Homo-oligomer: A and B are copies of this chain.
Amino acid sequence: MKLLSTENGFILSHKNRVIFTHSTESPMLFLGVGESNFDMYRGNFDITDYVTERLAMRQVDVETFESDEAVKAVITFKFDGEPTLKMTVSQTLEGRLKADFEAIDKKYNRFWLRVDANQQERVFGCGEQLTYLNLRGKNFPLWSSEPGVGRNKQTEVTFMADVNDKAGGDYYTTNYPQPTFVSDEKYFCHLETTAYADFDFSNEEFHELQAWDIPQYLLLDKEESYEALMENITGVFGRQPVLPDWVHDGVILGIQGGTDITYDKIAKARQHGVEVSGVWCQDWQGKKVTSFGKRLQWDWQWNSEMYPELDTKIHELKADGVRFLGYINPYVLEDYPLYKIAQEKGYLATKQDGSKYVVDFGEFYCGVVDFTNPEACEWYKSVIKTNMIDFGLDGWMGDFGEYLPTDCTLSNGVDAEIEHNKWPYRWAKIQHEAIEEAGKTDDILFFMRAGGTGIQGYCHTLWGGDQLVDWCLDDGLASVIPAALSSGLMGNGIHHSDIGGYTTLHGKKRSKELFQRWVEMNAFTPIMRGHEGNRPDDNHQYDTDEETLIHLAKFSRIFKHLKPYIKQAVILNSKKGMPVQRPLFMHYEDDAQTFEIKYQYLLGRDILVAPVYNKGELLKRVYLPNDTWVHAFTGETYTGGWVDVEAPIGQPAVFYRAESEQRELFDVIRSL
């Protein structure tokens, strides 16, 4: 860190990169006062802000302290001669740049900070972004919510979702926002706040980071390589544990309907050669039917009517090599047993006057377990341990986390508007700890869609949320690729998605072709897992016909065959934070083209995957960075550049490096 005084300001740099440039003409900090309005409808938010004041903090007092170890600078921003905010900049023991903020004048609740940008700079991250990989040129509101149906105001499905359910979303809506970005100049920058934030990358000379609160601090570091940068980032936010070994052994079938159906489906899949590692039965605790489709009965305990004898069969299945996974989320269904306990003990968020607060989840209402109450957390952990782990579940979807209403009252006294973005983190932590306390971290898989700062150390894997069963770029098959890459850059190196997508609405139904293309992609991700979707009967399923079963069998074999390779990548992720799915630029940074490719990825170091994401596409145009690449299904060899390869169903555009140490493993793919 270096602080250079200038005529009327200063320049602060870190590892030879200018971070802040401040002058009276061009101040780095603005403070203000705003009145927010949050209107939530089933996890979709209409958010407005009336900013009554926004003041440029032009005046500064700068003091520097030098000790043996490092320089420290205390910068006091002033307005109208009065001190407003103190920023203490120092280097942490790990060598990161840290700027702590302390509000002096407490009236300000809006904060805008400018970080120096270069005109050509590209930035990535901000949590899990489904539309953009390079975020430059736009602003990104950061607020955990439903990601939206369609997510593009130019598409009819988005329009219909908006009009019918206020649910269309937009390019930035995401389950997992994080106020952190990564630059192609190989630095990351994080603003520590859980308030509503908005990172604006549309200016040429600066990135403007907005928060609706005074953040605790900004943390930034720069490295020489992306590997080192990922290790650094995950040193801050935590690292995911390795996956249970059994996850690599095949597909986790998404099944619903009861014990018999589950047994029948496993048998049929195996008869067709499908490698089955588990079954995921989200309705293990029963279900409700609404106009949206089949919904679950949110009361987290075995439903013995729906799944008779599961208490014993779950062990039989496990002995037979098939793990049984369930489902949970942080809400409890009104008037059901768990709700009643929580209500009685005061474990639920309330209205301001302490009265009951239930949230509309679409034709049913639930209480929100108050994770700011340590007793409520312990209780919820015990529910997970007793009802789920002890019962024999080897995993679950840890759904939701985005619906904390901003007007509820919480046990810790913090404004729910500030707690909202922290909720996914709290939710992940509870699940992780329940598993850890049960001594099962190595054996239980749980996956979340919601996320936020710090979730990296607690959420074992993300899944991409609820895609449309469709080809649309912003909410279909394609969208999970930037989702995996952006969240990977935040340190969530293990990502996957529902095979075939989830949302069947507004005339969209899952086609066989879409299902098969999704299978072909997910075989080359760390986890292969299916989902029947919200309206299973309208969707093509893995067992709808023989051909689909046989196709799935082939790709489940490939997935299992890649176990040693994927496992190595998963271990690296757990140790050094290198994501399993990586953007091309991570290993080919000298090639400017690689930074603009958001619908291809590297699986580990040596495999390049270019999923077909357009309907009817049989010839796939692929960008290969400079290397020698072998087509995994044809054996043909390619060097760099754009190439057109045939990609009929069953032959996805997947390549591996000729120089790979695992080449022999890869060579077998085409015979599977």
Chain A residues engaging chain B, CB cutoff 8 angstroms: 30, 32, 51-56, 79-81, 153-154, 156, 159, 162-163
Whether B53 and A54, one on each chain, are in contact in the complex, defined by CB atoms closer than 8 angstroms, is: yes
- In the complex, besides A53-B55, A55-B55, A80-B80, 5 extra interface pairs with C-beta distance below 8 angstroms are A52-B54, A53-B54, A54-B54, A153-B162, A159-B159
A585 to chain B, nearest CB (A): 30
Report which of B30, B52, B55, B163 forms a contact with A154, defined as CB distance below 8 A.
Answer: B163
A-B contact pairs, 21 of them (CB 8 A): A30-B52, A30-B53, A32-B54, A51-B51, A51-B54, A52-B54, A52-B56, A53-B54, A53-B55, A53-B56, A54-B54, A54-B55, A55-B55, A79-B80, A80-B80, A80-B81, A153-B162, A154-B162, A154-B163, A156-B159, A159-B159
CA distance A627 to B578 in the complex (A): 80
* Nearest chain B residue, comparing its CB with the CB of A154: B163
Q: Which residue of chain B is the closest to A56 with respect to CB atoms?
A: B53
Hey, which chain B residues are within 8 Å of A54, CB to CB?
A: 32, 51-55
Shortest C-beta distance, A156 to chain B (Å), equals 7
A172 → chain B closest CB, angstroms:
16
| A159: B residues at CB distance < 8 A | 156, 159
Which are the 10 A-B pairs with shortest beta-carbon distances? A159-B159, A54-B54, A80-B80, A154-B163, A53-B56, A53-B54, A55-B55, A51-B54, A53-B55, A52-B56
Oligomer copy total: 2
Nearest-CB distance from A383 to chain B (Å)?
42
Q: Which residues of B contact A80 (CB under 8 A)?
A: 79-81
A56 neighbours in B (Cβ, 8 Å)? 52-53
A54 to chain B, nearest CB (A): 5
In the complex, A163→B54 CA distance in Å? 34
Point out the residues of chain B lying under 8 angstroms from A156, CB to CB: 159
Compute how far the CA of A159 lies from the CA of B55 in the bound complex, rounded to whole angstroms. Answer: 38
Complex Cα spacing A32 to B159, Å: 36
Shortest A105–chain B CB gap in Å is 14
Closest to A202 in B: B50
CA distance A420 to B432 in the complex (A): 60
Q: Which residue of B lies closest to A33 (CB)?
A: B56
A472 to chain B, nearest CB (A): 14
Contacts of A163 in B (CB 8 A): 154
Residues of B within 8 A of A52 (CB): 30, 54, 56
Give the interface centre of A80, A159, A162 by most chain B CB atoms within 10 Å: A159
Residues of B within 8 A of A162 (CB): 153-154
**How long is the Cα–Cα vector from A368 to B80 in the complex, in angstroms?**
47
For A32, the chain B residues whose CB sits under 8 A away are 54
With CB as the reference atom, state the residue of chain B lying closest to A32: B54
CB distance from A25 to the nearest CB of B (A): 11
Chain B residues with CB under 8 A of A154:
162-163
Interface centre among A30, A32, A53 (most CB of B within 10 A): A53
Whole-angstrom distance between the alpha carbons of A146 and B163 in the complex? Answer: 24
A113 to chain B minimum Cβ distance, whole angstroms, is 13
* Cβ of A55 to closest chain B Cβ, rounded Å: 6
Residue of B nearest to A159 (CB): B159
Q: A53 to nearest B CB, angstroms?
A: 5
Q: Closest B-chain residue to A200, C-beta based?
A: B50
Residues of B within 8 A of A81 (CB): 80
A280 and B30 CA atoms in complex are apart in Å by 58
Give A51 to B79 CA distance when docked, in angstroms.
18
Distance, CA A154 to CA B153, complexed state (A): 12
A206 to chain B, nearest CB (A): 11
Give the chain B neighbours of A53 by CB distance below 8 A: 30, 54-56
